[in-house]
Amino acid sequence: MDDAPRAAEASAPAARGTERLFDAASPGASKSPLVVVDDLHVSFERGGQQVNALRGVSFELQPGEILGLVGESGSGKSVLALTLLGLLPERPRPVITGSALVSGTDMVTANREQARLVRKQHLGAVFQDPMTSLNPTMRIGKQVIEAAGSTQEAVRLLDAVGLPDPASRLRSYPHELSGGLRQRVMIAMAVADSPALVIADEPTTALDVTVQAQILELLGTLRDELGTSFILVTHDLGVAAQVADRIAVLYGGRLAEVGPSADLFGAPLHPYATGLLRSRLVLRTDRSRPIVTLPGEPPDPRNHPPGCPFSPRCEHHSGECDVALPPLETVTATGEIAPSPAGSAMHQVACVRLGRFSTGHAAAIDERAEPWGPVASASRGRNPAVLVHGVHKRFTIGTGLRKKHLLALRGVDLSLNEGEAIALVGESGCGKSTLLRSIAGLQMVDEGEIEFGKGGRPQMVFQDAGASLTPWLTVGEQIGERLRSEGLRRQPRDARVLEALTLVGLPAEVAKARPAQLSGGQRQRVALARATVVPPEVLLCDEPTSALDVSLAATVLNLIGRLRRELGVAILFVTHDLAAARMVGDRIAVMYLGRIVEIGDADELCSAPIHPYTKALLDTVPEVGRVHVRLKGEPANPIDPPNGCAFHPRCPSAEPTCATSPVSLDPVEGASGRRVACPIALRLRTPITGDLNTAGVMSARDDSGRR
């Protein structure tokens, strides 16, 4: 947290000087815990079935501490957050036992008014979607004043959370602000009146990666300034590790492991935490073989096994796991169970078999996974499967005098070879999805050409697999739809559908199911089965994993990798996550505001980024112990992109000429196939150094196996 105050200075006007933004409460002065949760159970009835969301959770939180609460869907993390706030929905009526003391009040037994007073005096909350969480019909100012008490205080808070020009923003409505600014407004309301605890439920999930980094840093700064405790609820262990002092991992409504961030993120002990960390992608992950994944799916809170909830997915499980719920026990640094708890720095694990298997994190390389085979040989060639040349696309927004043009693509050239995989990376508004949809033929381009090789129409899998399936048609009918044009009769068609399902690892019964009966991971597999039942030459993937839980996302990435190699299809993979891009793509193309700013070999680009924007994106991939350089601002509006290099307003190394002279995607000397749209970076290019060089070394070795 050494660099924390920097952001505050950057966001506050220079005139402020050394004045403290808040009356600092001294963290750690009081030793009594702020939050004491003891054996908390929450269940409710949904659709006639009992949902056991929390099943005996106990933990404490010290004043000034940041706790990262990590879990996948169905883990109960949001229910826990809402219980602490006393805001669980009243219908279906929850059944709560145990206690959850917040600043001395038990939020379980408190009546409405008591709970409200606790929220007013001691609590703040930040929710996931800043668009829906702010009242759309009320001006920002009024909403902040409701929490802050006065206009003056509201302006001070908005200033402190880094909202530019707060006094004039008071009259804005939420829809007039960008996502990142809205989330800053939410945070300003949450920290109004200096609460003892702020509960942030997935505060960065809906935001762009560079903005996410800014918001996380802001949380850390506010803790340092205010002494406020934070509970950061997230599905991403990496996000938690960036700011949290301690991390608690929830699984199946139980705490699986609790411990200091560095311990948990560096050397987790519980098999689930280990598995979660392994399936998280970092820039060091071995590309030459499939990602090590957790088998199975996240637990169904309607139907928990009697023993350890993780047992059905655990590689170390044995009979004793299924006898009873494993208690959360304190372990020492050597991995032994300690007799007594030892303060907030203690490390607790709920696993009865702990010590009877090796818990080493084993880095990211797991030798048990077989390396990928070569890409199906016949299709791998030098001929382009898709050739994109000078493509422009603009959308018209509004009518009449208010008519504006959103420039989604501003001259894109790209060539995808047969059997090749390219990952397109960028933030919202960069045009990556527009490019993909243009190639799919789902929309016309305004200028330029898109040519295909010998193959026919490309196929596509979508971000939201559930929404990409027609709800009332069976899976079999939807997969079989592509076979209708081949004039196949019913029986051979059914056989082909079955084949496609088997290829993606789904049982035959799925053919008769409707999408709503499937889990999220199964739906994405069905989407892949439909796309590959007649293998296309090109498969377009539009963030197919971003809506999935971490462990499922890794499984789907592996499946895409396998389909690619077995069927020899070329892949164009759109993502906002460079680590995922590196796993899938042979090459990576980084896009910013409708243009490709850098393209090159995946490993080279990740280990030695040249464009300042690529560098900034790489920096958003969380790694413990790395000093992160935050990019300022948010992606500019594609309705009115800046002149010259569109990135120059945010660029740390911008020069005056960047704002005026147009940039072109120029080849890089000494690196074949590498192109960068930044003359300054090319001029200043120095040999690769720095903390990312491990990735470079590793990739050099990977390449031998791959080509």
Partner 1 sequence: MAVAEAFIPSAPRRGTARIGGARRIVGRASIAERVGFALLAVLVLAAIFAPLIAPYNPITPSGLPFTSPLHGGHLMGTDEVGFDIFSRVLYGLRTSLVGAVLVVTSGVIIGGLIGLVAGVAGGWVDTVLMRFTDLFLALPGPVLAIAFVAALGPSGFHTLLAVAIVWWPFYARIMRGEIRALAARPHLEAATLAGAGPFRRAFRHLLPGATSAIVVTASLDVGNLVLTLAGLSFLGLGAPAPAPELGAMAARGLQYLLQEWWVPVMPAIVVFLLTLASNLSGDGLNATMSDS
Partner 2 sequence: MIKFVVKRLLSMVVILLMLTAIVFLLQKLSHINPAHAYLGANASQAAVNRETHILGYDRPFIAQYFHYVSGLLRGNLEVSLRTRHPVSTDIVAFLPATVELAVSGLFLAMVLGAVFGLISAARFRGAGAFRMLLMSFASAPVFLLSLLGILVLSGNLHWLPGTGDTSYTNAPTGPTGIIVIDGLVHGQFAVAWDGVWHLILPALVVALGPAVSIGRVLRGSLEASMLSDFARTARAKGLKERTVVLHHALRNSVSAALSMTGLQVGLMFAGVVVVETIFAWPGIGLYVDQSIPQADFPAIAGVTLVLGVGYVIINAIVDILQAVVDPRVALV
- Report the side by side order of strands in the sheet with 123-126: 123-126, 197-201, 229-234, 66-70, 246-251, 254-260, 347-349, 329-331
- For the CB of residue 637, give the shortest distance to partner 1 in the complex, in Å: 23
**Binding partner of residue 509 among partner 1, partner 2, none, CB cut-off 5 to 8 Å per kind:** partner 1
Q: Does 106 bind partner 1 (CB under 8 A)?
A: no
List CB contacts of 282: < 8 A, sequence separation 6 or more: 238, 364, 579, 621, 622, 623
**Binding partner of residue 138 among partner 1, partner 2, none, CB cut-off 5 to 8 Å per kind:** partner 2
Distance CA 151, CA 142 (A): 8
Q: Does 83 bind partner 2 (CB under 8 A)?
A: no
Angle between helices 490-503 and 520-532 (to 10 degrees): 120
Structure token digits, residue 475: 């899976």
Among 470, 643, 664, 693, binds partner 1 (CB under 8 A): 470
Q: Does 556 bind partner 2 (CB under 8 A)?
A: no
- For the CB of residue 221, give the shortest distance to partner 2 in the complex, in Å: 21
Task: Spell out, one character per residue from 542 to 561, where the chain touches partner 1: x when CB under 8 A holds, - when not.
Answer: -------------x--xx--
* CA 482 to each of CA 459, 600, 660: distance values in angstroms, whole numbers, following the listed order: 10, 34, 49
Distance CA 199, CA 222 (A): 13
Nearest to 220 by CA among 282, 155, 134, 162: 162
**Binding partner of residue 462 among partner 1, partner 2, none, CB cut-off 5 to 8 Å per kind:** partner 1
Q: Any idea of the CA torsion for 600, 601, 602, 605, to the nearest 10 degrees?
A: -50
* Cβ pair 115, 86 in contact under 8 A: yes
Q: Return the range that interacts with partner 2 (CB under 8 A); candidates 61-69, 84-92, 99-107, 696-704.
A: 84-92
Restricted to residues 89-108, the positions that interact with partner 2 (CB under 8 A) are: 89
Among 189, 206, 292, 533, binds partner 2 (CB under 8 A): 189
Restricted to residues 486-515, the positions that interact with partner 1 (CB under 8 A) are: 504-507, 509-510, 513-515
> Does residue 195 have a cis peptide bond before it, meaning omega lies within 30 degrees of 0?
no
Structure token digits, residue 638: 């594609």
**Binding partner of residue 620 among partner 1, partner 2, none, CB cut-off 5 to 8 Å per kind:** none
**Binding partner of residue 132 among partner 1, partner 2, none, CB cut-off 5 to 8 Å per kind:** partner 2
Restricted to residues 133-152, the positions that interact with partner 1 (CB under 8 A) are: none
Restricted to residues 415-434, the positions that interact with partner 1 (CB under 8 A) are: none
- For the CB of residue 94, give the shortest distance to partner 2 in the complex, in Å: 15
Nearer to partner 2, 200 or 570 (CB): 200
Nearer to partner 1, 50 or 693 (CB): 50
Q: Which amino acid is at 60?
A: E
Task: Spell out, one character per residue from 400 to 419, where the chain touches partner 2: x when CB under 8 A holds, - when not.
Answer: -xx-----------------
Region for 411 from its dihedrals, namely left if φ exceeds 0, alpha if ψ lies in -120 to 50, beta otherwise: left
Angle at 378 between CA 372 and CA 382, to 5 degrees: 95
Q: Any idea of the CA torsion for 475, 481, 482, 487, to the nearest 10 degrees?
A: 140
Q: Does 562 bind partner 1 (CB under 8 A)?
A: yes
Among 129, 224, 300, 413, binds partner 1 (CB under 8 A): 300
Q: Does 138 bind partner 2 (CB under 8 A)?
A: yes
Q: Does 522 bind partner 1 (CB under 8 A)?
A: yes
CB neighbourhood size of 443 (10 A): 13
**Binding partner of residue 473 among partner 1, partner 2, none, CB cut-off 5 to 8 Å per kind:** partner 1
Q: Does 112 bind partner 2 (CB under 8 A)?
A: yes
Among 125, 196, 264, 375, binds partner 2 (CB under 8 A): 125
Among 204, 234, 279, 468, binds partner 1 (CB under 8 A): 468
Among 278, 280, 493, 530, binds partner 1 (CB under 8 A): 530
Q: Does 127 bind partner 2 (CB under 8 A)?
A: yes
Q: Does 219 bind partner 1 (CB under 8 A)?
A: no
- For the CB of residue 61, give the shortest distance to partner 2 in the complex, in Å: 18
Nearer to partner 2, 3 or 146 (CB): 146
Q: Does 354 bind partner 1 (CB under 8 A)?
A: no
Find the DSSP H helices in 386-454: 432-440
CB neighbourhood size of 459 (10 A): 22
**Binding partner of residue 297 among partner 1, partner 2, none, CB cut-off 5 to 8 Å per kind:** partner 1
Restricted to residues 140-169, the positions that interact with partner 2 (CB under 8 A) are: 146-147
* Helix/strand/coil for 467: coil
Nearer to partner 2, 13 or 398 (CB): 398
Among 73, 178, 519, 637, binds partner 1 (CB under 8 A): 519
Nearest to 446 by CA among 398, 399, 397, 409: 409
List CB contacts of 440: < 8 A, sequence separation 6 or more: 457, 458, 460, 540
* Cβ pair 511, 501 in contact under 8 A: yes
Own/partner contacts of 508-511, CB < 8 Å, gap of 24 or more, are 510/475, 511/474, 511/475, 511/476, 511/479
Q: Does 442 bind partner 1 (CB under 8 A)?
A: yes
Distance CA 479, CA 519 (A): 17
Nearer to partner 2, 182 or 317 (CB): 182
Q: Does 485 bind partner 1 (CB under 8 A)?
A: yes
Region for 418 from its dihedrals, namely left if φ exceeds 0, alpha if ψ lies in -120 to 50, beta otherwise: beta
Nearer to partner 1, 262 or 547 (CB): 547
**Binding partner of residue 419 among partner 2, partner 1, none, CB cut-off 5 to 8 Å per kind:** none
Q: Return the range that interacts with partner 1 (CB under 8 A); candidates 83-91, 145-153, 470-478, 689-697.
A: 470-478
Nearer to partner 1, 413 or 481 (CB): 481
Nearest to 238 by CA among 258, 210, 213, 201: 213
* Cβ pair 274, 236 in contact under 8 A: no
Distance CA 57, CA 404 (A): 53
**Binding partner of residue 14 among partner 1, partner 2, none, CB cut-off 5 to 8 Å per kind:** none
Structure token digits, residue 406: 């959103």
Nearest to 537 by CA among 342, 349, 369, 376: 376
Nearer to partner 1, 59 or 310 (CB): 310
CB neighbour class for 513 (10 Å; exposed up to 12, middle 13-18, buried from 19): middle
List CB contacts of 339: < 8 A, sequence separation 6 or more: none
**Binding partner of residue 135 among partner 1, partner 2, none, CB cut-off 5 to 8 Å per kind:** partner 2
Q: Does 47 bind partner 1 (CB under 8 A)?
A: yes
Among 10, 24, 324, 473, binds partner 1 (CB under 8 A): 473
Distance CA 166, CA 522 (A): 46
Contact set with partner 2 (CB under 8 A): 85, 87, 89, 112, 116-121, 123-125, 127, 129, 132-138, 146-147, 173, 175, 186, 189-190, 192, 401-402
Binding site for partner 1 (CB under 8 A): 47, 49, 290, 295-297, 300, 370, 437, 440-442, 457-460, 462-464, 467-473, 478, 481-482, 484-485, 504-507, 509-510, 513-517, 519, 521-522, 527, 530, 555, 558-559, 562
